[in-house]
Structure 1
Amino acid sequence: HYKCYGTGSTEEHIRERGVNVIHGGLNSLRFTPVFAIGPDEADLIVDAVRQALLHGPRIATAEAA
């Protein structure tokens, strides 16, 4: 389980790595790239999300239940 927004969240983890992201609700993120995004920028976003899910903050098991 992942904390989507706030201190110690997936949103914060991704932002710290240079990707413009805001929370879109309890369990969603919104990305805010420029309109002229290219393949390299898209790959950067995908990689940042992958790294956040693999290595970023998580909700403690008792808290998630």
Structure 2
Amino acid sequence: MEKGVEIRFGDYDQPATLIQAFSGVAELLFISSSHPDDNVRLNQHSEVIHAALKAGVNH
């Protein structure tokens, strides 16, 4: 955290890791998954959004 950045682990395919990674985050920049299967990518994106809401991300 010396430079003002904290790195946290979060995996689109492991939704439980996302809530912890997003904890205490006020604003989230969500970059789309590059998975080639649209159904998988849609599920991943949905999990990110749900995790962000559960973690209390405001924006």
TM-score normalised by length of structure 1: 0.35
By percentage of residues, which structure has more strand? 1
